Structure 1
Amino acid sequence: MTNRHSESHNALLHPLQESEPLLERFFFLNRVVILAIFAALTLFLGYQASTLRLEASFEKMLPTAHPYIQNHLQYQDQLRGTGNAVRIAVETTEGDIFTHEFQETLQNIHDEVFFINGVNRSALESIWSPGVRWREVTEEGFDGGPVLPDGYDGSPESLETLRENVYKSGQIGALASNDLRSAVVYAPLYDRDPQTGEALDYHQFAQDLERQIRDKYESDTIRIHIIGFAKLVGTLIEGASQVTLFFAVALGITAVLLYLYSRCLRATSVAITCSVMAVIWQLGLLSALGFSLDPYSMLVPFLVFAIGVSHSVQVINAIAHEAARGASRLMSSRLAFRSLYVAGLVALISDGFGFATLMVIEIQVIRDLAVAASLGVAAIILTNLIVLPILMSYVGVSRSSLEHLARVERKPRHPLWDRMVAVTNPRVAGITVLVALAAMGYGLWKQQDLKIGDLDAGAPELRPDSRYNRDVAFFGDYYSTSTDLFVVMVETPPQQCADYDTLYAIDQLQWKLQNLPGVQSTRSLADFAKRYMSASNEGAIKWHAINRNQRLMDAASIQAPSDVVNSNCSLAPVLIYLDDHKAETLETVVTAVEAFTQQNDLDGVNFLMASGNAGIEAATNIVIGDAHIKMLIWVYGVVILLCLLTFRSIRTVVCIILPLMLTSVLCQVLMYYLNIGVKVATLPVIALGVGIGVDYGIYIYSKLESYLKQGMPLRDAYFNTLNTTGKAVAFTGFTLAIGVGTWIFSPIKFQADMGILLAFMFLWNMLGAMVLMPALTCLLMPKRIGATGSQSQHPSPSDHPQSRHSQQALQEELS
Structure 2
Amino acid sequence: MSNPNHDRGEHYLTTPKAEPFLERLLFNNRAAILAILALLTVFLGYNAAKIQPDASFERMIPLEHPYIVNMLEHREDLENLGNFVRIAVAVEEGDIFTQEYMETLKQITDEVFYLNGVDRSGLKSLWTSNVRWVEVTEQGFQGGTVIPDGYDGSRDSLEQLRQNVLRSNEVGRLVSDNFQSTIVYAPLYEKNPETGEALDYAEFSRQLEEKIRDKYEEQNPNIQIHIVGFAKKVGDLIEGIGSIAWFAGITIVLTTLLLFWYSRSITGTLVPVFTSIIAVFWQLGALRLLGYGLDPYSVLVPFLVFAIGISHGVQIVNAMAVEAAKGFDSVTAARLAFRALYIPGMLALISDAFGFLTLFFIEIDVIRDLAIAAGIGVAFVIITNLVLHVLIMSYLGISKGGVRHVQNHGEKQDRKWRVMSYFSHPGVAPISLLIAVIGLGLGLYYKQDLKIGDLDQGAPELRKDSRYNKDNAFIINNYSTSADVLVVMVKTPEEQCTQYNVLRAMDKLQWELQNTPGVQSSASLADVSKIVTKALNEGNWKWYEISRNQTIINASIREAPAGLINTDCSLTPVLVFLEDHKAETLQTVVERVEAFAEENSNEEHRFLLAAGNAGVEAATNEVISSAKDKMLILVYGVVSLLCLVTFRSVRAVLCIVIPLGLTSILCEAIMAVSGIGIKVATLPVIALGVGIGVDYGIYIYSKLEKYLLEGKTLQEAYYETLRSTGKAVMFTGVTLGLGVVTWIFSPIKFQADMGLLLFFMFIWNMVGAIWLLPALARFLLRPDRMVAKARAAK
Normalised to the residue count of structure 2, the TM-score between the two structures is 0.95
- Shift in alpha-carbon separation, 1:684–1:18, aligned structure 2, 3 A: farther
1:756 is displaced (CA, Å) by: 0.1
Aligned pairs for 1:476-491 within 5 A = 476-491=476-491
Rounded Cα–Cα distance in structure 2 between residues aligned with 1:20 and 1:564: 75
Partner residue of 2:366? 365
Partner residue of 2:236? 235
Partner residue of 2:425? 425
90-99 or 755-764: bigger deviation? 90-99
Partner residue of 2:100? 101
Aligned pairs for 1:518-667 within 5 A = 518-667=518-667
Rounded Cα–Cα distance in structure 2 between residues aligned with 1:121 and 1:418: 74
240-249 or 75-84: bigger deviation? 75-84
Q: State the Cα deviation string for residues 489-518 of structure 1 (Å, max 9, x = none).
A: 111111211211211111111111111111
Rounded Cα–Cα distance in structure 2 between residues aligned with 1:246 and 1:68: 38
Determine helix, strand or coil for the equivalent of 2:74: helix
Q: State the Cα deviation string for residues 120-163 of structure 1 (Å, max 9, x = none).
A: 11211101001111111111111111111111111111111111
Kindly indicate whether the alpha-carbon contact (under 8 Å) linking 2:682 and 2:754 is maintained by their aligned counterparts in 1: yes
Q: State the Cα deviation string for residues 16-53 of structure 1 (Å, max 9, x = none).
A: x9997111111111111111110110010000001111
The one-letter code of the counterpart of 2:235 is G
The one-letter code of the counterpart of 2:458 is G
- Shift in alpha-carbon separation, 1:680–1:666, aligned structure 2, 3 A: same
Aligned pairs for 1:349-498 within 5 A = 349-411=350-412, 413-415=414-416, 417-498=417-498
The one-letter code of the counterpart of 1:434 is L
**Is 1:44 aligned to residue 61 of structure 2?**
no
User: Any gaps of 5 or more consecutive residues in structure 1?
Assistant: 1-16, 789-815
Determine helix, strand or coil for the equivalent of 2:389: helix
22-31 or 757-766: bigger deviation? 22-31
The one-letter code of the counterpart of 2:723 is N
Rounded Cα–Cα distance in structure 1 between residues aligned with 2:224 and 2:253: 41
Determine helix, strand or coil for the equivalent of 1:630: helix
Rounded Cα–Cα distance in structure 2 between residues aligned with 1:200 and 1:664: 38
Rounded Cα–Cα distance in structure 2 between residues aligned with 1:783 and 1:237: 54
Partner residue of 1:61? 60
Rounded Cα–Cα distance in structure 2 between residues aligned with 1:118 and 1:45: 32
Rounded Cα–Cα distance in structure 2 between residues aligned with 1:474 and 1:156: 29
User: Any gaps of 5 or more consecutive residues in structure 2?
Assistant: 1-15, 789-794
The one-letter code of the counterpart of 2:140 is G
Determine helix, strand or coil for the equivalent of 1:711: coil
Kindly indicate whether the alpha-carbon contact (under 8 Å) linking 1:525 and 1:557 is maintained by their aligned counterparts in 2: yes
Partner residue of 1:812? none
- Shift in alpha-carbon separation, 1:20–1:635, aligned structure 2, 3 A: farther
Determine helix, strand or coil for the equivalent of 2:614: helix
Residue-pair matches, total? 771
Determine helix, strand or coil for the equivalent of 1:427: coil
Rounded Cα–Cα distance in structure 2 between residues aligned with 1:80 and 1:326: 75
Rounded Cα–Cα distance in structure 1 between residues aligned with 2:454 and 2:766: 30
Rounded Cα–Cα distance in structure 2 between residues aligned with 1:164 and 1:139: 18
Aligned pairs for 1:90-129 within 5 A = 90-129=89-128
The one-letter code of the counterpart of 1:768 is G
Q: State the Cα deviation string for residues 300-355 of structure 1 (Å, max 9, x = none).
A: 00000000000000011001111111111000000100110110001000000000
Rounded Cα–Cα distance in structure 1 between residues aligned with 2:366 and 2:101: 41
The one-letter code of the counterpart of 2:491 is E
Kindly indicate whether the alpha-carbon contact (under 8 Å) linking 2:708 and 2:786 is maintained by their aligned counterparts in 1: no
Partner residue of 1:282? 283
Rounded Cα–Cα distance in structure 2 between residues aligned with 1:579 and 1:777: 53
1:197 is displaced (CA, Å) by: 2.3
1:604 is displaced (CA, Å) by: 2.7
1:420 is displaced (CA, Å) by: 2.0
Partner residue of 2:5? none
79-88 or 59-68: bigger deviation? 79-88
The one-letter code of the counterpart of 2:91 is T
Partner residue of 2:7? none
- Shift in alpha-carbon separation, 1:595–1:20, aligned structure 2, 3 A: farther
Determine helix, strand or coil for the equivalent of 2:783: helix
Rounded Cα–Cα distance in structure 2 between residues aligned with 1:561 and 1:118: 23
Rounded Cα–Cα distance in structure 2 between residues aligned with 1:75 and 1:736: 47
Q: State the Cα deviation string for residues 668-719 of structure 1 (Å, max 9, x = none).
A: 0000000000000000000000000011110110011111111111111111
Aligned pairs for 1:299-318 within 5 A = 299-318=300-319
**Is 1:752 aligned to residue 755 of structure 2?**
no
Rounded Cα–Cα distance in structure 1 between residues aligned with 2:192 and 2:503: 39
Rounded Cα–Cα distance in structure 1 between residues aligned with 2:65 and 2:227: 30
Determine helix, strand or coil for the equivalent of 1:128: coil
Determine helix, strand or coil for the equivalent of 1:145: strand
- Shift in alpha-carbon separation, 1:739–1:132, aligned structure 2, 3 A: same
Partner residue of 1:5? none
Determine helix, strand or coil for the equivalent of 2:452: coil
Determine helix, strand or coil for the equivalent of 2:20: helix
Partner residue of 1:777? 777
Determine helix, strand or coil for the equivalent of 1:460: coil
The one-letter code of the counterpart of 1:454 is D
Partner residue of 1:763? 763
Q: State the Cα deviation string for residues 231-281 of structure 1 (Å, max 9, x = none).
A: 111111111111111011011100000000000011111010000000000
What is the alpha-carbon root mean square deviation over aligned residues?
A: 1.5
The one-letter code of the counterpart of 2:159 is E
Determine helix, strand or coil for the equivalent of 1:43: helix
Structure 1 runs of 4+ with >4 Å offset: 17-20, 785-788
1:412 is displaced (CA, Å) by: 7.8
Partner residue of 1:224? 225
Partner residue of 2:686? 686
1:445 is displaced (CA, Å) by: 3.6
1:373 is displaced (CA, Å) by: 0.1
The one-letter code of the counterpart of 2:92 is T
1:198 is displaced (CA, Å) by: 2.1
Determine helix, strand or coil for the equivalent of 1:566: coil
Determine helix, strand or coil for the equivalent of 2:184: strand
Rounded Cα–Cα distance in structure 1 between residues aligned with 2:362 and 2:171: 41
Rounded Cα–Cα distance in structure 1 between residues aligned with 2:750 and 2:620: 17
Kindly indicate whether the alpha-carbon contact (under 8 Å) linking 2:71 and 2:81 is maintained by their aligned counterparts in 1: no
Partner residue of 2:24? 25
Rounded Cα–Cα distance in structure 1 between residues aligned with 2:238 and 2:438: 43
Kindly indicate whether the alpha-carbon contact (under 8 Å) linking 1:227 and 1:468 is maintained by their aligned counterparts in 2: yes
1:427 is displaced (CA, Å) by: 2.8
Kindly indicate whether the alpha-carbon contact (under 8 Å) linking 1:713 and 1:786 is maintained by their aligned counterparts in 2: no
Rounded Cα–Cα distance in structure 2 between residues aligned with 1:155 and 1:411: 89
Partner residue of 2:163? 164
Rounded Cα–Cα distance in structure 2 between residues aligned with 1:413 and 1:30: 38
Rounded Cα–Cα distance in structure 2 between residues aligned with 1:574 and 1:319: 68
1:76 is displaced (CA, Å) by: 1.5
672-681 or 83-92: bigger deviation? 83-92
Q: State the Cα deviation string for residues 521-566 of structure 1 (Å, max 9, x = none).
A: 0111111111111000000010001111121112223221122222
1:786 is displaced (CA, Å) by: 9.2
Determine helix, strand or coil for the equivalent of 1:558: coil
Kindly indicate whether the alpha-carbon contact (under 8 Å) linking 1:82 and 1:485 is maintained by their aligned counterparts in 2: no
Rounded Cα–Cα distance in structure 1 between residues aligned with 2:57 and 2:114: 21
Q: State the Cα deviation string for residues 616-665 of structure 1 (Å, max 9, x = none).
A: 00000000000000000111110011001010100000000000000001
Kindly indicate whether the alpha-carbon contact (under 8 Å) linking 2:45 and 2:281 is maintained by their aligned counterparts in 1: yes
Normalised to the residue count of structure 1, the TM-score between the two structures is 0.93
Kindly indicate whether the alpha-carbon contact (under 8 Å) linking 1:451 and 1:678 is maintained by their aligned counterparts in 2: yes
Partner residue of 1:87? 86
Kindly indicate whether the alpha-carbon contact (under 8 Å) linking 1:118 and 1:194 is maintained by their aligned counterparts in 2: no
Kindly indicate whether the alpha-carbon contact (under 8 Å) linking 1:76 and 1:83 is maintained by their aligned counterparts in 2: no
Sequence identity percentage: 58
165-174 or 493-502: bigger deviation? 493-502
- Shift in alpha-carbon separation, 1:102–1:20, aligned structure 2, 3 A: farther
